[in-house]
Amino acid sequence: MPAKRIFTSTMATGLAAVCVLASAPAASARPAPPRAPVAEGSGGAVVSDTVESTQAGIDVLRRGGTAADAAVAVAATLGVTDPYVAGLGGGGYFVYYDARTKTVSTIDGREATPAGDSTTMFIDPATGKPYPFETAVESGRSVGVPGNLATWQRALQRWGKFSLADNLKPAEKVAQHGFVVTPEFESQTQGLATKLGHFSPSAQLFLPGGAAPKAGSVLRNPDLAATYRQIEREGIGAFYGGSIGRDLVQTAQKPPVAPGAGIAAMSGPMEVSDLRAYRALDGSPTHIDYRGYDVYGMAPSSSGGITVGESLNILGNFNLSKMDRVQALHHYLEATRLAFADRNRYIGDARYVNVPQQQLLSKSFAATRACQINPAKAGTSPVAPGDPYATGGGCATGTAASSDSNEQHTNHFVVTDKWGNVVSYTNTIEQLGGSGITVPGHGFLLNNELTDFNFAPTQGTAPDPNLPAPGKRPRSSMSPTIVLHEGKPFLAIGSPGGATIITTVLQILVNRLDLGMSLPDAITAPRASQRNAAMTDAEPAFLALPTTKGLETLGQSFKNAGSIGVAAGIEFLPHGQLLAAGEPSRRGGTSAAVIDPRH
């Protein structure tokens, strides 16, 4: 079908930003398979945010690729079909179970602060106070050195069978031929219209004709397709120092503000040398034993693995399965109230601050925190952090300090292959739409990850572990998790949602391991998120539960936070069977598929 509109504009780099929007699926656009939130079968599985990205992963698995190969295809395709939370302009954390060595490893692909930044990068010199949050977001100053592409290359070097070029092909084709706009994508774009409209290339790409593309139309991104093709030809050097990188740096230094936008976006100090210096970092996961299950997560710079692990260790002091549901939920909320106090006080980029990871994940420290839980009364936030260095037990604590929760919108997906390798991968450009700035001629949005730093100290007289510094990676809440049982994969799970990621992953684990829910039910269950705040964020469905009144009687206080998280998980069943589960409705639902469905 002929295109309805074609928009072309020359940007500051001299390259053209092009968006093609068709009124109905074009002949060249690949039909999307039907969306299904749950699939059961064997041979490999993928759960991700969009049907196109899930299909890309399944296709790679069918061709004999590993879970790492499929993960790269999924992530790159999400950069096309879920561009407001994913893509080349972002970063994330990759957790991998290697079936051959029976070990879990991690890659830290979090964005890094440019060398030219400083601890006062978000302090307005005119006032001595932090910049307004949105002023910082919509600027080059919020843009960290992206880590996703380096993560994909490193994962393939360690665990892949195919080349990066091979694994980028599915995403390139979707970008070139287009994808069918969903109602959720249309709604997201409408909500971002002001932000995207502030920057010329973003408006031309995502707001063709000045409005969000309609559900049912086909959105193409030929600039991103060309960018993927260039990386296929030239390798990641085209991005980390080559012409793509030079365009990225120019965009961060001089954000392409649209005429009449009414904002003066601050410049960022990123240089090409920052891109050349970037490395995705191999690492070891966090690990705790919870009721006979080995739970592996992401170590700092993420706070996810430690905070989920500490919360589980606290809950390990109680028999949740024997409690009534009000008490089980009360203990869940109180465990995260305490663990978030410790997170905020102690966790940051471990290359810059001394993170007491071993102590925070010790059973003895968890016991000192568990004794703070009063089964008859909710704690009063902010509760004070514990002292992980104390000896002899007890419940002594430090001074209470405020929480932080800047990170907002993310994506998570899970993959397993026919050999039993497993990927749990969370990546993001931070807020929905990131900084709002699209790199002209390249079709991808830049992150605003550096606003995940605390702009000014938050811990009173105690050191703040999450203040910015040159080269430092901002603290994240991303919690990609792999659970083994008797040495074999049992669950792979994760979610987007900023700081609520931690509580979402924890609640799903408690639902599945303690409360006896199936994985689909554990994911679908109404959510609440307590993060050492005066009120607990809760979904409307949680507020409507009969248990909520009982929780309020105990002093728990709730506010309607709308939808929380968009989880994706795989459970490994007996006899090689797989249960792949996503969301039936949150954020429009997610897409699960297996290689050989069970009929």
Please return the burial class of 323, using the count of CB atoms within 10 Å of its CB with bins 0-12, 13-18 and 19+: middle
288 phi, psi to nearest 5 deg: -140, 160
Residue 410 annotated in active site: yes
- Note whether 252 and 142 are within 8 A (CB): no
Closest CA to 365 of 402, 395, 320: 395
Residues 413, 513: Cα–Cα separation, whole Å = 21
- The Cα-based distances of 397 to 379, 387, 390 in angstroms read 14, 6, 10
Provide the 8-state DSSP code for 174. Answer: H
Residues 144, 117: Cα–Cα separation, whole Å = 10
- Note whether 566 and 411 are within 8 A (CB): yes
How many Cβ atoms from other residues are within 10 Å of residue 552's Cβ? Answer: 14
Q: For every residue of 29-61, which 3-state class applies, written as one string?
A: CCCCCCCCCEEEEEEEEEEECCHHHHHHHHHHH
Please return the burial class of 120, using the count of CB atoms within 10 Å of its CB with bins 0-12, 13-18 and 19+: middle
- The Cα-based distances of 357 to 240, 340, 346, 354, 429 in angstroms read 32, 14, 9, 9, 26
Helix (H) or strand (E) segment spanning residue 424: strand 422-428
Residues 159, 84: Cα–Cα separation, whole Å = 28
CA count, 13 A, side-chain hemisphere, 54: 31
The alpha carbon torsion through 280, 282, 286, 287 (nearest 10 deg) reads 140
List the beta strands (DSSP E) in 548-597: 558-560, 568-572, 578-581, 591-597
Closest CA to 310 of 345, 347, 361, 357: 361
Residues 487, 137: Cα–Cα separation, whole Å = 43
- The Cα-based distances of 195 to 15, 259, 332, 504, 577 in angstroms read 22, 14, 37, 28, 45
Question: Reduced to 3 states, what is the DSSP secondary structure of residue 124?
Answer: strand
From 50, 227, 397, 410, active-site residue = 410
Active site residues: 410
